[in-house]
Structures are given as structure tokens and as C-alpha cells.
Structure 1
Amino acid sequence: MCINCALHSKSKSKSSIIPWMKIKCPMQTNGIDCGYIVMQFMKEIILANQDMIPENYFGDYKCKTYSKDKLVQVEEDWATFMVEYLSEFHFLFQQFSFAFFN
């Protein structure tokens, strides 16, 4: 019954019920750094290791953009992760191939 009422309610759309916040986060200064900026920002949020994001987390964010050095660090971290991941995958593939074909 409640689900039916919610599905057929015409008073408000779901988007008008949700309190949307404007999020302040680092912005790219060119047309190519977007992915690196998103990855770094996500990493910072995850490493904050909190059960919930405080309401003032984004409002207190002071960094308008990341420095070139910070973006190079993100590139290096990503490359290191991929090399380690692919090395482990290659090792597991070799073990599987050896066990399967012998």
C-alpha cells in the first residue's frame, strides 16, 4: 500500500524532496586533467576514513585546483597501482596456465 502511494504520488518529484548541496571541489585548469582531479579527490574522501561525510566537508574545502606536482603524483600512484595489479594478474595467470595445461 505505501509503495503504491509513493509510486503514484503526484505532489512532488523525487528531485524536489532531496536537499541538494553545491559541492566545492578542485577544478581543472585545462581540458585534460579532469580524470586525475576526480581520482585524487575521491582518494582524499576515502582516506578521511569517516563513517559519513560531514556537512561542512565541502564548504571548508580550500583548494581551488591541484598543483602540477600533485597531478604528477596522482599519475605516478595510478601507474604504480596498475603495474602491481597487472604483475599480480600475470603471476596468477601463469599459475593457472601451469596447473591447467600440465
Structure 2
Amino acid sequence: MCICRCLHPKLKSKSSVIPWIEIKCPMQTNGIDCGYFVMRFMKEIILANQDMILENVCITLEITNGDYKCKTYSKDKLVEVEEDWATFMVEYLRDYIAQRLTL
């Protein structure tokens, strides 16, 4: 509803302005992996079972030499997203086709 009000100036009021908070999260190092990074971050938020994203704490904590690092995701983490998405699509299409064949 807030987003709708922000997009329509006639409905806009001071109380409808969305307070955007910059969240520190893993960032891509190129110009093509943004979708995978977003999907990976969403997955980690859901798996962490948290009510909200902490502003200054990165959800992804990889231990490297005793320090926490969350600047970017490894290739393995991104491949995991690709595999999750491919598995979902294959199962969805299989169920969809099976349902169509029974009609």
C-alpha cells in the first residue's frame, strides 16, 4: 500500500514515504550476477527465520582466517541458487504437464 501511494502523487502524504534503509549484504563483482545475489540473499533471510534484516550485520557469515567476511558470494553459493531454481522449474513443469494430461 505504501508503494502504491508513493507511485501515485495524489495519494502521497508525508506518512506514506517509505523509509529506505541501506542493508549491508554481499555484492556482485561483475555486472551480470545481480539476480543470483538477490535470490541467494532472500534464501538466507528465509533460512535464518528472522523477523527483520539487521542493518549492520550481514546474514551471510563466511569464516576466513578467523574473520567474518560478507563482501561477495563464492561461485559455489551461486551455483546452489542455479540448482535450486532449475529443480523448482523442472518439478513445476512436471506437475503442470501431468495436470494437463489428466484433463
Q: 1:60 to 1:31 in 2, by over 3 A?
A: same
Alignment of 1:1-80 (within 5 A): 12=14, 14-15=16-17, 19-50=19-50, 52-53=51-52, 57-61=54-58, 62-80=69-87
From the CA coordinates, give the structure whose radius of gyration is larger: 1
Q: Matched residues, percent identical? A: 69
Question: In the TM superposition, what is the alpha-carbon distance from 1:13 to its structure 2 partner?
Answer: 6.8
CA distance in 2, matches of 1:93, 1:76: 26
Question: In the TM superposition, what is the alpha-carbon distance from 1:46 to its structure 2 partner?
Answer: 1.4
What letter is aligned with 1:42? M
Q: 1:22 to 1:87 in 2, by over 3 A?
A: same
- Structure with the higher helix share, 1 or 2: 1
**What is the count of residue pairs matched by the alignment?**
83
TM-score, normalised via structure 1 length: 0.69
TM-score, normalised via structure 2 length: 0.68
CA RMSD of aligned residues (A): 2.3
Q: Does 1:85 align with 2:99?
A: no
Question: Equivalent residue of 2:86, what SS?
Answer: helix
Which structure 2 residue ranges, 5 or more long, are not aligned? Answer: 1-10, 59-68
CA distance in 2, matches of 1:8, 1:33: 34
